């Protein structure tokens, strides 16, 4: 049987006491609040997506049915279940059903493929996998077969739609009276996926108490109440549309969640008009696309009150275009799945909204800006951002080596971001200390892609670098030294794709070089090498 993993995320006792006393951790749980909303707002519409419109009562009914079905199929409370669903109502029903059955969702993105999903399955010691028959043209049952072949411990596969040899989600049934009581609020509710700056993605354990605090507090800062209509335009598995305030914040408020089948204006605008959407979260390139499309659209976007932009840096000039194009309040959001989320406030002056990435949610978010030696830098100077607080994790799941690197002895998370702190605690993101590519909000680890390139027989060495991109913000460029005959760039891209990775990780560009200039100071670090290559590339661009 699977190892019993620590299902409690442990903050030191003094911090637990402090976060409770301050009223951040209230002992609420996902099933607890959802059941209450189903009673109080029974006939209000909770979730809209595709042809589905679920009231709060109906959503809860689905949650109980699916939860009882998971247990009837043999899953045991505490088991981890990978959820890989797109922006469909079943995403929400399945996640909440797992909470209800005391199972632990592990969220994968629809873009992830076998290599990533198998890694999550091993790392989480997962015993279940939930997919849709098909999403964006891809058949996930194929992926399920590959996963079971690679990681046989994943014994249960559930499919939304035609299940073939697997178990159909819509047919799940079980004894609802046998469902367990609500979980310990301090227990781990789910595992979120990290962007992963060094090598493979890490798993982020979030508790009921800490996560619910983050979106309850977000609601107040983002203007979400029972009358709000929140649109999920980014992939629902992303922490941003899930919790900042996200669809969970919206459900907590008794508001309406509208799932857009795609992030672009074509999919989203008609839904905004039809459902009178009031709030949406976007990454910068999308926000700019929306702003341009808004000028030409015939759809009525006048219901939009707040457009949030985050996940990657929104430069002031782009921020101005977004405000001008969409004509509503802009909110910058600088967050991370590990915890800390910063918002510009809805009533902040224009210069703050246009030029900063906001300030933390909580008075108890502790933020340090330090130099390379860990010493605090003066206000206004750029340094490494470290943080701890009532919704920031103290460690990754099942990853001692990563924890030793990513957390200080006194429990601060090293975000890897370089920031400047202004008066009032506002942060401006000025770069990062780790080598990942932030491709329109999707984070790509340079090291992970280099490892896949190095596995190619015609690759002698490779360095993956982020290059500024007018549309994406950043794109990825692989500098490659060939071994023997030089492969075609397209062949190398296909190789990375063929290694079973998400499409967004395929290098946007491949540049062949004869050698890496590592002679000057003898051996240099990969990090220095990547920086050098970036500079060389930009000088010639």
**For residues 230 and 280, what is the distance between their CA atoms, to the nearest angstrom?**
6
DSSP letter for each residue of 497-518: HHTT--GGGS-SEEEE-S----
Instruction: Give 87 or 243: the residue with its C-beta nearer to ligand J2J.
Output: 243
The minimum distance between CB 487 and ligand J2J, in angstroms, equals 32
The minimum distance between CB 131 and ligand J2J, in angstroms, equals 22
Task: Name the one residue in this structure whose structure tokens are 């661009």.
Answer: 541
> How many other CB atoms are there within 10 angstroms of residue 84's CB atom?
25
Instruction: Give 173 or 350: the residue with its C-beta nearer to ligand J2J.
Output: 350
Sign of the torsion formed by the C-alpha atoms of 54, 226, 214 and 183: negative
Return all residues near 521 (Cβ < 8 A) that are at least 6 apart: none
Please list the alpha-helical segments (H only) found in 281-328: 284-296, 316-326
The minimum distance between CB 204 and ligand J2J, in angstroms, equals 8
11 in Cβ contact with 19 (< 8 Å): yes
Instruction: Give 259 or 336: the residue with its C-beta nearer to ligand J2J.
Output: 336
The minimum distance between CB 150 and ligand J2J, in angstroms, equals 26
The minimum distance between CB 432 and ligand J2J, in angstroms, equals 5
**For residues 392 and 297, what is the distance between their CA atoms, to the nearest angstrom?**
40
Query: Does residue 318 sit in helix, strand or coil?
Result: helix
> How many other CB atoms are there within 10 angstroms of residue 152's CB atom?
9
> How many other CB atoms are there within 10 angstroms of residue 327's CB atom?
14
Instruction: Give 129 or 240: the residue with its C-beta nearer to ligand J2J.
Output: 240
Instruction: Give 174 or 358: the residue with its C-beta nearer to ligand J2J.
Output: 358
Please list the alpha-helical segments (H only) found in 223-315: 239-243, 246-253, 265-275, 284-296
**For residues 53 and 255, what is the distance between their CA atoms, to the nearest angstrom?**
13
For residue 167, what are its two tokens? 């178990």
Instruction: Give 71 or 440: the residue with its C-beta nearer to ligand J2J.
Output: 440
Sign of the torsion formed by the C-alpha atoms of 468, 332, 443 and 428: positive
Instruction: Give 57 or 200: the residue with its C-beta nearer to ligand J2J.
Output: 200
Instruction: Give 268 or 319: the residue with its C-beta nearer to ligand J2J.
Output: 319
For residue 187, what are its two tokens? 């227990």
The minimum distance between CB 128 and ligand J2J, in angstroms, equals 24
Q: Which residues bind ligand J2J (CB under 6 A)?
A: 195, 239-240, 243-244, 310-313, 332-337, 341, 357, 415, 417, 429, 432, 438, 441, 443
The minimum distance between CB 414 and ligand J2J, in angstroms, equals 10
Instruction: Give 82 or 336: the residue with its C-beta nearer to ligand J2J.
Output: 336
Instruction: Give 221 or 337: the residue with its C-beta nearer to ligand J2J.
Output: 337
The minimum distance between CB 298 and ligand J2J, in angstroms, equals 31
The minimum distance between CB 296 and ligand J2J, in angstroms, equals 27
The minimum distance between CB 532 and ligand J2J, in angstroms, equals 22
**Residues for the chain: how many in total?**
541
Q: Do strands 339-343 and 329-336 pair parallel, antiparallel, or not at all (unpaired)?
A: antiparallel
Residue 313 phi, psi (nearest 5)? -70, 130
Instruction: Give 272 or 361: the residue with its C-beta nearer to ligand J2J.
Output: 361
Residue 387 phi, psi (nearest 5)? -155, 150
The minimum distance between CB 73 and ligand J2J, in angstroms, equals 32
Please list the alpha-helical segments (H only) found in 22-127: 30-40, 56-72, 89-100, 114-124
Instruction: Give 328 or 427: the residue with its C-beta nearer to ligand J2J.
Output: 427
The minimum distance between CB 511 and ligand J2J, in angstroms, equals 25
Residue of minimal Cβ distance to ligand J2J: 335
The minimum distance between CB 430 and ligand J2J, in angstroms, equals 9
Instruction: Give 28 or 417: the residue with its C-beta nearer to ligand J2J.
Output: 417
**For residues 31 and 102, what is the distance between their CA atoms, to the nearest angstrom?**
9
CA triplet 161, 119, 1: central angle to 5 degrees? 85
CA atoms within 13 A on the CB side of 276: 5
Return all residues near 110 (Cβ < 8 A) that are at least 6 apart: 84, 85, 86, 135, 136, 138, 235, 237
**For residues 158 and 262, what is the distance between their CA atoms, to the nearest angstrom?**
23
């Amino acid at each position: 049987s699977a190892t019993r993993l620590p299902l409690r995320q442990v903050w030191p006792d003094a911090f637990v006491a402090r976060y409770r006393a301050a009223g951040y951790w209230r002992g609420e749980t996902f099933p607890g609040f959802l059941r209450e909303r189903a009673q109080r707002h029974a006939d209000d519409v909770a979730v809209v997506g595709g042809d589905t419109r679920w009231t709060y009562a109906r959503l809860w009914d689905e949650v109980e049915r699916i939860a009882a079905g998971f247990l009837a199929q043999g899953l045991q409370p505490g088991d981890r279940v990978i959820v890989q669903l797109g922006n469909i109502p079943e995403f929400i029903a399945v996640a909440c059903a797992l909470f209800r059955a005391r199972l632990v969702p592990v969220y994968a993105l629809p873009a992830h493929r076998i290599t990533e999903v198998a890694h999550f399955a091993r790392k989480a010691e997962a015993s279940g996998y939930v997919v849709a028959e098909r999403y964006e043209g891809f058949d996930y049952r194929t992926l399920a077969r590959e996963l079971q072949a690679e990681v046989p411990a994943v014994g249960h596969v559930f499919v939304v739609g035609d299940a073939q040899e697997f178990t159909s989600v819509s047919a799940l049934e079980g004894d609802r009276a046998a469902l367990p009581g609500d979980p310990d609020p301090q227990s781990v509710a789910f595992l979120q996926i990290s962007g992963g700056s060094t090598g493979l993605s890490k798993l982020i354990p979030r508790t009921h108490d800490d996560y619910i605090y983050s979106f309850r507090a977000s609601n107040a800062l983002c203007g979400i109440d029972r009358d709000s209509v929140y649109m999920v335009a980014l992939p629902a598995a992303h922490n941003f549309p899930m919790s900042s305030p996200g669809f969970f914040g919206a459900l907590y408020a008794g508001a309406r969640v509208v799932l857009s089948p795609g992030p672009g204006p074509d999919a989203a605008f008609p839904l905004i008009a039809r459902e009178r959407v009031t709030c949406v979260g976007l990454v910068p390139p999308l926000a700019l696309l929306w702003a341009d499309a808004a000028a030409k659209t015939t759809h009525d976007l006048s219901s939009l009150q707040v457009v949030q932009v985050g996940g990657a840096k929104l430069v002031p000039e782009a921020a101005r275009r977004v405000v001008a194009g969409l004509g509503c309040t802009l909110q910058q959001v600088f967050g991370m799945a590990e915890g800390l989320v910063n918002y510009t406030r809805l009533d902040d002056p224009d210069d703050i909204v246009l030029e900063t990435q906001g300030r933390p949610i909580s008075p108890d978010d502790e933020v340090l800006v330090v130099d390379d030696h860990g010493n605090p830098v003066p206000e206004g100077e750029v340094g490494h951002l470290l943080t701890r607080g009532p919704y920031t994790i103290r460690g990754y799941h099942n990853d001692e080596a990563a924890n030793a690197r990513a957390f200080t002895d006194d429990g601060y998370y090293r975000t890897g971001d370089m920031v400047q702190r202004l008066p009032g605690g506002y942060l401006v993101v000025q770069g990062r200390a780790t080598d990942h590519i932030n491709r329109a909000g999707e984070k790509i680890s340079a090291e992970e892609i280099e490892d896949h390139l190095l596995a190619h027989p015609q690759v002698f060495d490779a360095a993956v670098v982020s290059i500024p991109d007018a549309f994406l913000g950043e794109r990825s460029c692989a500098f490659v030294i060939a071994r023997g005959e030089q492969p075609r760039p397209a062949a190398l891209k296909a190789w990375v794709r063929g290694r079973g990775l998400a499409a967004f990780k395929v290098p946007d560009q491949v540049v062949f070089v004869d050698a890496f200039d590592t002679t000057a100071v003898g051996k240099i670090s990969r990090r220095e090498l990547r920086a050098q290559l970036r500079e060389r590339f930009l000088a010639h661009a």
